[in-house]
Structure 1
Amino acid sequence: MDFLGLGPGADVDIQLVDWDGRSRPLCPDGETLAGRIRVRPRRPGQSLQHNGLKVEFLGLIEIFHERINTHEFVSLVKELAPPGKISQPMSFDFEFNHVEKPYESYMGQNIHLRYFLRATLRRRLSDVVQELELQVLRPSSQPELVKPIRMEVGIEDCLHIEFEYDKSKYHLKDVIVGKIYFQLVRIKVRYMELDIIRRETMGSGPNAFDDHDTLAKYEIMDGAPVRGESIPIRLFLGGYPLAPTMCDVNRKFSVRYFLNLVLIDEEERRYFKQQIFQSHCWIDSDIRNQFPAC
Structure 2
Amino acid sequence: MSLFFKAPLDIEVRLSGEDTRKHVEVKNKNGRKEKLPLYEDGESVKGQVTIRVKDGRRVEHLGIKIQLIGTIDTNNDGLNFDNFLYLVQELSAPAELNHPENYSFEFKNVEKQFESYRGTNVRLRYYLKCIVLRKSADVIREKELWVYAKQNPPDTPTTVKMDVGIEDCLHIEFEYSKSRYSLKDVIVGRIYFLLVRLKIKHMELSLIRRETVGSGANQISDSQTLVRFEIMDGAPVRGETIPIRLFLRGYDLTPTFRDVNKKFSTRTFLSLVLIDEDARRYFKQSEIILYRD
State TM-score, norm by structure 2.
0.90
The residue number in structure 1 matching 2:117 is: 106
Alignment of 1:197-236 (within 5 A): 197-205=208-216, 207-236=218-247
Partner-residue secondary structure (3-state), 1:43: helix
The residue number in structure 1 matching 2:50 is: 38
Q: After TM superposition, where is structure 1 displaced by more than 2 Å over at least 4 residues in a row?
A: 204-209
The Cα shift of 1:31 comes to: 1.2
Instruction: Confirm or deny: 8 A CA contact 2:202 2:275 kept in the other structure.
Output: yes
Q: Distance in 1 between matches of 2:121 and 2:185?
A: 25
Alignment of 1:137-216 (within 5 A): 137-143=148-154, 145-205=156-216, 207-216=218-227
Partner-residue secondary structure (3-state), 2:249: helix
- Per-residue displacement from partner, 1:116-167 (whole Å, max 9, x unpaired)? 0011112222222111111111101223521221121111111110111122
Q: Distance in 2 between matches of 1:157 and 1:187?
A: 10
Instruction: Confirm or deny: 8 A CA contact 1:7 1:126 kept in the other structure.
Output: no
Q: Distance in 2 between matches of 1:139 and 1:61?
A: 19
The residue number in structure 2 matching 1:240 is: 251
Q: Distance in 1 between matches of 2:229 and 2:260?
A: 30
Greater fraction strand: 2
The residue number in structure 1 matching 2:11 is: 12
The one-letter code of the counterpart of 1:29 is D
Instruction: Confirm or deny: 8 A CA contact 2:40 2:149 kept in the other structure.
Output: yes
Q: Distance in 2 between matches of 1:107 and 1:237?
A: 19
| Identical residues among aligned pairs (%) | 49
- Per-residue displacement from partner, 1:19-71 (whole Å, max 9, x unpaired)? 11884111101111111111111224x32211111100111111123224222
RMSD: 1.6
Comparing 240-249 and 64-73, the one that deviates more: 64-73
Q: Distance in 2 between matches of 1:141 and 1:62?
A: 27
The Cα shift of 1:245 comes to: 0.4
Alignment of 1:247-266 (within 5 A): 247-266=258-277
Q: Distance in 2 between matches of 1:116 and 1:194?
A: 37
The residue number in structure 2 matching 1:285 is: none
- Per-residue displacement from partner, 1:74-102 (whole Å, max 9, x unpaired)? 11111110111111111111111111112
Q: Distance in 2 between matches of 1:17 and 1:71?
A: 28
Q: Distance in 2 between matches of 1:192 and 1:70?
A: 42
Partner-residue secondary structure (3-state), 1:184: strand
The one-letter code of the counterpart of 2:220 is F
- Per-residue displacement from partner, 1:247-294 (whole Å, max 9, x unpaired)? 001111100000010001011111000000011111xxxxxxxxxxxx
Instruction: Confirm or deny: 8 A CA contact 2:76 2:218 kept in the other structure.
Output: no
The residue number in structure 1 matching 2:100 is: 89
Q: Distance in 2 between matches of 1:10 and 1:72?
A: 28
Instruction: Confirm or deny: 8 A CA contact 1:193 1:261 kept in the other structure.
Output: yes
Aligned with 2:280 (options 261, 269, 278): 269
The one-letter code of the counterpart of 2:233 is D
Which structure 2 segments of 5+ residues have no match? Answer: 24-34
Q: How many residues align?
A: 276
The Cα shift of 1:206 comes to: 5.3
The one-letter code of the counterpart of 1:15 is R
The one-letter code of the counterpart of 1:98 is N
The residue number in structure 2 matching 1:72 is: 83
The residue number in structure 1 matching 2:290 is: 279
1:29 matched to 2:32? The reply is no
Aligned with 2:133 (options 107, 114, 122): 122
Comparing 100-109 and 65-74, the one that deviates more: 65-74
Instruction: Confirm or deny: 8 A CA contact 2:76 2:214 kept in the other structure.
Output: no
Instruction: Confirm or deny: 8 A CA contact 1:7 1:125 kept in the other structure.
Output: no
Distance 1:144 1:68, change over 3 A: closer
